[in-house]
Amino acid sequence: MEAEAAGLVRNPGDVIGKVQDKIIRKKRCSNSSRRKVIIRRSLRPILGLQQLFLSCQEVFKGPGTVPSPNDVQMLCHILDQMTPQDVGLSSDLHFFKPNTDVKAHERVAYATIHQCKKFSLCIFFLPANSVIPLHNHPGMTVFSKLLLGSMHIKSYDWLDNSSSDNHESDPKLKRLARLRANRIFTAPCDTSVLYPTSGGNIHEFTAITPCAVLDVLGPPYSKDDGRDCSYYKDSPYDATLDVEVKEAKQDECYGWLEEIDLPNDSEMDPIPYLGPQVSVAS
């Protein structure tokens, strides 16, 4: 899908992070006439994104591994310091204007900054009111940095991971999950981290305003390697009505999760990443 279709470049002069010419061009109105404004790219965006990339190369060791607490803290610190400008974005872009009309067919889009077998860096663009339904991250550690906008995040962890064998034989079987988050986040905010079996590995994003989220996934999704994405719908757990679960605690909230096919209206569109590039050469 072209960038225009995602609503990221609505005006002919809008460009997100045009790196090749080392400028970002955007048309604006001034004194009833249009003129080009040339914004020269500073060194900070390259340094911020490049620092994240180099750190990911050191931290992520491949499938079956989880970053150490110190490495998690380091990546969170880098991401917490990053701004939309680090990836060529700005709240002035038409897509992020709160009064922007959202077309009914407008879908979530994503741009991949870098992907290898050990990790990937990508940005998700969510129009207002759009939803990325509940989905999991099998065997993955994921860092999410909300760059722009406000969104509601709901997340779960399986209550009993030992029941995975039964689930594989019947994927449509409802399983009880512990609610980890159910609130609104507004940029700028701290980076969130999920792990293979904790931290809210199954989550849902609902955009309140147009949003941009920078995700670091290690390792990335790979159907061939058994890391395909599964989608779920949740239903309330009522301790007074449902069967008693000995692992459930009275001071925590739970939900029943049932695996579903990806809803037709939840498919995402890939778009080119036009922001500052990372230098892969060592």
Asked if residue 207 is part of any domain, the answer here is yes
pTM: predicted TM-score of the whole model, two decimal places: 0.80
Asked if residue 20 is part of any domain, the answer here is no
Asked if residue 209 is part of any domain, the answer here is yes
pLDDT per position as a tens digit, 72-102: 999 999 999 999 999 999 999 999 987 656 5
Would you tell me how many other CB atoms lie within 10 Å of the CB of residue 232? 20
Asked if residue 205 is part of any domain, the answer here is yes
pLDDT the model gives residue 25: 40
Which domain does 101 fall in, by range? 44-162+171-270
Please tell me whether the peptide bond between 138 and the residue prior to it is cis, using omega within 30 degrees of 0: no
Asked if residue 200 is part of any domain, the answer here is yes
**Is 126 in contact with 210 (CB distance < 8 Å)?**
yes
pLDDT the model gives residue 264: 85
Asked if residue 196 is part of any domain, the answer here is yes
pLDDT the model gives residue 279: 92
Indicate the number of domains in the chain.
1
Asked if residue 37 is part of any domain, the answer here is no
Asked if residue 194 is part of any domain, the answer here is yes
pLDDT per position as a tens digit, 174-233: 999 999 999 999 999 999 999 999 999 999 999 999 999 999 999 999 999 999 999 999
- The CATH number of residue 212's host domain is 2.60.120.10
